[in-house]
Amino acid sequence: MTNRKILHIDMDAFFASIEQRERPELVGTPVIIAGDPNKRGVVSTCSYEARTYGIYSSMPSKTAHVLCPNATFIKPRIDFYKTISNTIFDIYKEYTELVEPLSLDEAFIDVTYNKYDIKSAVEIAKEIKRKIREKTNLTASAGVSFNKCLAKIASDYRKPDGLTEITTENYQQMIDVLPIEKFFGIGKVSLNQFHQRGIFTGKDLRELSEANLVEIMHKRGSIIYQNIRGIDDREVDPDRQRKTLGKEITFAMDITTGADIRSHFEEVAVRLEKELINRKIKIKTVIIKIKYFDFSIITKRYTCDNYIQSKNEIMYCIDILLKKCKLEKDIRLIGIYTSNLLEGEEENKQLSLWDL
């Protein structure tokens, strides 16, 4: 499938860049999208200027403030960011309906056959970048290749405001020099295991057998084995569904294990129910997350026989899961996540079957 033309577009520090655009005095300064650093919370994202201080997503806001005390902290405005994201996705759809959203600021686009019959995917990427800048005054980085994996690698090659093409002629050379942490799916644990074996680059990875990779990374090992050889047959899926949905609450002060933890979970469940109803989503699997004061985390999951949506149904699952938890330390954060989602028209079809 090397005749495909796939783009991966990734907006540059999207949330932070929007805030810098709205407040020109912040341009060129460290901006951190997070809650008040004097309270609990984590970093959502940050500007490139803040990243030079070692700030990264999910870092506690207090830690970020210690590392970069002169940064401007701004509470996320997700609804505002969504309106700008919609404008950007409208640009993508000027060329094709084969647009697979990965998040508000990231998408795959299959331009093999496009509405303007433009032969060059690089030219389309240039046009998209230009239109994004003209309509939003923001920059994007683009990757162009013959599959999704390589297009994503390419978009990360020259950030910000970059454009890189990986071709059938140069793909192996470009993969071989990549640090292994650039490959999707290689996290801290597997990264340490690879480093201990003297494996640091794509070329090093390619010298391992598939069995070796599976031993370290389990199922993901077979995917990595294909990816480092430039193989990825996944289609761009415009109907890609959200795999999980969740809500969290970070406490202003750690709560003790003797506190009524159930009432706090019920508060989160109310918010989650509202989100599910608004998005017309039903769920089958409920996952609870508990983060202790020392940042250690426990998770438990329960899968229902039928799809659910209401707060009471969610709390039924929570009660089952809480009985399995030994709460031994003060708690910093709790969350409820869901998976096995049923959305939109698919939900209506399922309900009609139940009603028979």
Residue that wins the pLDDT comparison between 211 and 280: 211
Average pLDDT value over all residues in the chain: 90
Backbone Cα Rg of the chain: 22
pLDDT tens digit string along 189-220?
889 999 999 999 999 999 999 999 999 988 88
Task: Let me know if 106 is a catalytic residue.
Answer: yes
Could you report the per-residue pLDDT of 36-58, keeping only the tens digit for each? 898 877 898 999 999 999 999 88
pLDDT for the residue 346: 40
Residues 309-350 have pLDDT tens digits of 999 999 999 999 999 998 889 999 999 999 888 875 443 333
Question: Is residue 229 scored above 90 in pLDDT?
Answer: yes
The pLDDT value recorded for residue 35 is: 83
351/234: higher pLDDT: 234
176 is in an annotated binding site: no
Among the four given CATH numbers 3.40.50.80, 1.10.150.20, 3.40.50.720, 3.30.1360.70, the one describing domain 172-227: 1.10.150.20
Let me know the angle formed at the C-alpha of 68 by 64 and 69, rounded to the nearest 5 degrees: 100
The whole model's pTM is what? 0.77
Using alpha carbons only, give the angle 145, 148, 154 rounded to the nearest 5 degrees. 50
Burial of 97 (0-12, 13-18, 19+ CB in 10 A): exposed
> Which stretch of 244-248, 290-294, 348-352 has the lowest confidence by average pLDDT?
348-352
> What is the Cα–Cα distance from 141 to 159, expressed in whole angstroms?
6
DSSP annotation string for 88-148: HHHHHTTT-S-EEEEETTEEEEE-SS-TT----HHHHHHHHHHHHHHHHS--EEEEEESSH
**C-alpha span between 106 and 58 (Å, rounded):** 18
CA distances from 36 to 26, 39, 173, 252 (A): 18, 5, 45, 11
Q: Is 105 annotated as a binding residue?
A: yes
Specify the higher pLDDT residue, 174 or 307. Answer: 174
pLDDT value at residue 355: 33
Structure tokens at 203: 């070329």
pLDDT beyond 90 at 164: yes
How many other β-carbons are positioned within 10 Å of the β-carbon of residue 280?
14
Tokens for 181, please give them: 């942490």
Residue 349 has a pLDDT of 36
Is residue 175 within 8 A of residue 153, CB to CB? The reply is: yes
Domain ranges of the chain: 1-169, 172-227, 245-354
pLDDT of residue 295 exceeding 90? no
Q: Which CATH superfamily is domain 1-169 in?
A: Reverse transcriptase/Diguanylate cyclase domain (3.30.70.270)
**Of 22, 25, 94, 106, which is the active-site residue?**
106
Both tokens of 178, joined, read: 């990549």
Contact 151, 232 (CB under 8 A): no
pLDDT of residue 351: 38
3-state secondary structure of 12: coil
CATH 1.10.287.70 fits 245-354, yes or no: no
Query: The dihedral of CA 282, 285, 286, 291: what is its sign?
Result: negative
Distance of alpha carbon 98 from alpha carbon 236, whole angstroms: 6
More confident site: 353 or 133 = 133
